[in-house]
Amino acid sequence: MYKRQPKPNLHFPEANENFSTYNIGIHRHQPEIAQSLTKWGARFGAALAREPLFVPHLLPIERGILETIYAEPSDAGLVDTATVQACLREAYANEPFVIVRDDAPTLRDVQRTNAVHLNARVAHGRVVVVAAEDNLVKGASGQAIQNANLMLGLEETMGLR
């Protein structure tokens, strides 16, 4: 049985009024992010020069995760913001809870919803993807409801917003 161990940096007196990074390059979601962006990069004709870097941050707020992911195309000249955004729109066109935005998302956009908001742009030869989600809904309970709906043959969006 997995037992979580308390970490001093997560205790309220240390985390409150603070903003910090953690598990840079070794976060448990790093492999799935790398897999998705590598596959996704190939779709718009630009293989990645190396594994994308996910830098998680701890911000002691009630709910929400804001992710910033950096990817380096093997040929930066082949990639621009319009191409990357078009690829995201195509990849998620049939996903009712994924919103590809023209601007960077904020936590307030997604709190208390099952939605993930995405934006990507090319800056200094790198693709920068920003994603926002409510970790209590989309990250846990909402995802479970969405999966149960699919498994039971119900409308995917039933009981969710």
d(CA 12, CA 90): 42
Per-residue pLDDT, 52: 79
CB-based contacts of 157, cutoff 8 Å, min separation 6: 96, 97, 146, 149
d(CA 158, CA 58): 32
Residue type, 116: V
Per-residue pLDDT, 136: 87
Per-residue pLDDT, 50: 73
Per-residue pLDDT, 54: 80
Structure tokens at 113: 């919803």
Per-residue pLDDT, 34: 79
Per-residue pLDDT, 44: 54
Per-residue pLDDT, 143: 85
Kind plus residue range of the DSSP H or E element containing 30: helix 30-43
Evaluate whether 146 touches 114 at the Cβ level (below 8 Å).
Answer: yes
Q: What is the pLDDT of residues 10-51, one digit of tens each?
A: 777 887 888 888 888 888 888 887 787 777 666 655 667 777
Q: What are phi and psi of 132, to 5 degrees?
A: -130, 140
Report the 10 Å Cβ neighbour count for 135: 13
d(CA 83, CA 21): 30
Residues of the chain with pLDDT under 50: none
| DSSP of 53-80 | EE--EE---SS-EEEEEEE-BSSGGG--
